Structure 1
């Protein structure tokens, strides 16, 4: 890249205090960093500043509108090798495209802050390798154009802990937030779209995902071989790929899934060979399949959820488990029964799954017959003659929409005339015989 001569003005404050360095024009940023005392601020005015650069002392770099650090498609654009570094209001672009090359590399350091910046046309956005206690907030991320398999992750956490990822926006990356052997991280208020997995957990423990909006990805959350994940108050919307899931939990333990909305995905929620899962007060609506289970899932507590408007409500295979916790179940919009005492709980159990949904697992082409007259009769006969097992995949206390309790007198008003008609018909039949 063509270099431009730098003009800088230095303003030193009191002795032994921090100083402010103002870059007035396009400059050799690495030289400026090297010459600036620790704990100082560098203010970047509008212009393109040439990278890659390395920060090896505590510094703050603030950018005005139009301040750009360009890596020239070589290596990491900014490598941070010291604690207590802040980058704010800067556009960072054109990292190398090699494995784990990033807009910003935080390399075994602590307490960095990256905020209000744009990382675009980079392989990885921010790679955190070791260290931790960073705050990454209100940034915009996008990778190089192309298929997601050629892109890097927005924020990649590797063997790090105690980081806060707040109100970032990511699009066109491989995985929005990727955690590998990382613990005690908070991901709050982020928006992630057009990625493979919005958030991807691998071998990670005790992490929190709260109040995020994940839409238009393949998976909203992919949790694999991890432990201790709190997933609360998020919206998982329009993961429409045929392999797409709002949330997929695979061989993972101790997950709390509460107060989320899983809307209009191909598959809403899937549990696969996982243990100690709490699913409470979620809305699972408008999905092709609402709830999927595969393999051996154990200690699953599911209560006070609403499953509405899903084309296929459940596809339950593998080990059966109870679909309710205690004496409060879930609302299923395909459940039909009565609430005789007005406690909003149906009088008979809801059976998750059906022989039709089980057959769909083996013969997907049977979806052609969904809601056909033959299939409707088939499912009605199943319910009428209790062909479904009571041993598992059963919600013993299903919720019904609130309303007035059924007046038993109305039952007798209907049954008595019906019984009388049936009695007279049988009597007439005997006379004819």
Structure 2
């Protein structure tokens, strides 16, 4: 039998501001645009359905002979440490009191492929070094490996395997999800569950996790969270924000996902020092915006994607901007695609190299509504006679025969074909149609700059 030791907990506020590393220096200032749209400040009732756990005897017979973990949890005094020796344990588990559970060696908690495996419905609990596996397959009941409904909890070094939804935080604040590995069930992409989901959950730290072969990481109505040092592979959305304000996404790596980071109906926040690579396919996009405002995108590597930036009606709020600083756009199909005619995008000191198309501006003659300044284009055709590092003439990007594939997307298949390349060449020599300005940078850089991103020059 395990030895149980009393554990003295720090207050929830202290835990959230020290252990989580969420300090005033890392948060978006409260006065940032969009802070007044924080829906968590509005009076509201608990609209989430109650926790429903399917009992052990109704789960797969393979776990009926395992030791039920619930009995050990019930026997542990509140605030103690429950140390589990290596072995297999049967779910489900419903933790309703502050408790620290630590696995020694390989500890596997199996839910028998039915319902949710582990529910944490308390504050200031901790789970360390556990493997949680075998949730059910129902989207109606949100079958999950780890369902969290509490504040100030810590989840460290967990392995979440063969689960529909991985870790699901519902109306839960100041939690830490760290150093964990999450993988969905081997279903088709659209019917997998989300790897990490935040729903009405604020000021959480999602750090150094690896999410593989899931559907999405999502944050709905969830504000001031930090996503740091995570890796996402072979999923649909690396992170999808919806009505989620002032979130920070930094030092992450996202590979082979359909979409890297998507901001939808969101205000405030920053994405910095991330690598987003190989967002390919018909809808491939590294960074996407839908009616979002006042966001900063800086020091990111955006490479080998169908579309680097895809922006629709963003910035959306009047008198706001979306700022792109010191990013590298390399070897993308379209580096920056702006379908809005509103303007308000500011692109400074970025690198554009090896892209099939650097800029696609929707609308008619709207290329002067956005700010382009000090960017490097490997397609720039000019000189630097005064040796100040900037071109003597502006870099201007016009739509020539490009408009064929811009206005008729099916024609993109033929974009680099000899006939379209010939048309484009002839129009540059002697235009036979009205040209459309896509972008104008008055001070293009002559040499590619070296930015200190990801700990080294690039």
Cross-structure match for 1:105: 147
Cross-structure match for 1:119: 160
1:213 aligns with 2:253: yes
Cross-structure match for 1:312: 357
Could you tell me how far 1:368 is from its partner in structure 2? 2.5
CA distance 1:241–1:274, change in 2 (3 Å): same
Cross-structure match for 2:328: 283
Distance in 2 (CA, whole Å) between partners of 1:359 and 1:249 is: 24
Tell me, yes or no, if the aligned pair for 2:395 and 2:440 is still in contact at 8 Å: yes
Distance in 2 (CA, whole Å) between partners of 1:38 and 1:356 is: 71
Matches within 5 A, 1:243-258: 243-258=283-298
Could you tell me how far 1:9 is from its partner in structure 2? 4.0
2:211 counterpart (152, 158, 170): 170
Could you tell me how far 1:344 is from its partner in structure 2? 1.8
Return 144-153 or 293-302, whichever deviates more: 293-302
Distance in 2 (CA, whole Å) between partners of 1:362 and 1:62 is: 58
Cross-structure match for 2:244: 204
Structure 2, gaps ≥5 residues long: 10-64, 316-320, 450-458
Cross-structure match for 1:372: 418
Q: Show CA shifts across 1:393-427 (max 9, x none).
A: 22222221279xxxxxxxxxxxxxxxxxxxxxxxx
Structure 1, gaps ≥5 residues long: 1-7, 19-24, 404-433
CA distance 1:297–1:145, change in 2 (3 Å): farther
Larger gyration radius, structure 1 or structure 2:
1
Distance in 2 (CA, whole Å) between partners of 1:348 and 1:295 is: 27
1:31 aligns with 2:71: yes
Distance in 1 (CA, whole Å) between partners of 2:330 and 2:349 is: 14
Distance in 2 (CA, whole Å) between partners of 1:345 and 1:324 is: 20
Return 268-277 or 199-208, whichever deviates more: 268-277
Matches within 5 A, 1:16-415: 27-99=67-139, 100-107=142-149, 109-175=150-216, 177-275=217-315, 276-318=321-363, 320-322=366-368, 325=371, 328-363=373-408, 364-365=410-411, 367-368=413-414, 370=416, 372=418, 375-376=421-422, 378-379=424-425, 381-382=427-428, 388-389=435-436, 393-401=439-447
Could you tell me how far 1:377 is from its partner in structure 2? 6.4
CA distance 1:149–1:389, change in 2 (3 Å): closer
Give SS of 2:324's match: strand
Tell me, yes or no, if the aligned pair for 1:303 and 1:323 is still in contact at 8 Å: no
CA distance 1:201–1:11, change in 2 (3 Å): closer
RMSD in angstroms over aligned alpha carbons?
Answer: 2.4
CA distance 1:198–1:401, change in 2 (3 Å): same
Tell me, yes or no, if the aligned pair for 1:324 and 1:330 is still in contact at 8 Å: no
Tell me, yes or no, if the aligned pair for 1:323 and 1:395 is still in contact at 8 Å: no
Could you tell me how far 1:352 is from its partner in structure 2? 2.7
Tell me, yes or no, if the aligned pair for 1:77 and 1:92 is still in contact at 8 Å: yes
CA distance 1:218–1:167, change in 2 (3 Å): same
CA distance 1:402–1:183, change in 2 (3 Å): closer
Return 348-357 or 329-338, whichever deviates more: 348-357
Could you tell me how far 1:179 is from its partner in structure 2? 0.4
Tell me, yes or no, if the aligned pair for 1:131 and 1:160 is still in contact at 8 Å: yes
Tell me, yes or no, if the aligned pair for 1:143 and 1:154 is still in contact at 8 Å: yes
Tell me, yes or no, if the aligned pair for 1:316 and 1:358 is still in contact at 8 Å: no
Distance in 2 (CA, whole Å) between partners of 1:330 and 1:362 is: 27
User: Which protein has greater RCO, CA pairs closer than 8 Å, 6+ apart?
Assistant: 2
Q: Show CA shifts across 1:357-400 (max 9, x none).
A: 2221223336525263763563464377796456x622222221
Q: TM-score, structure 2 length as denominator?
A: 0.79
Distance in 1 (CA, whole Å) between partners of 2:244 and 2:288 is: 15
Give SS of 1:90's match: strand
Tell me, yes or no, if the aligned pair for 1:351 and 1:388 is still in contact at 8 Å: no
Q: Show CA shifts across 1:234-293 (max 9, x none).
A: 000011212101111111111101000001111111111101100010000011111111
Q: TM-score, structure 1 length as denominator?
A: 0.83
Distance in 1 (CA, whole Å) between partners of 2:430 and 2:300 is: 34
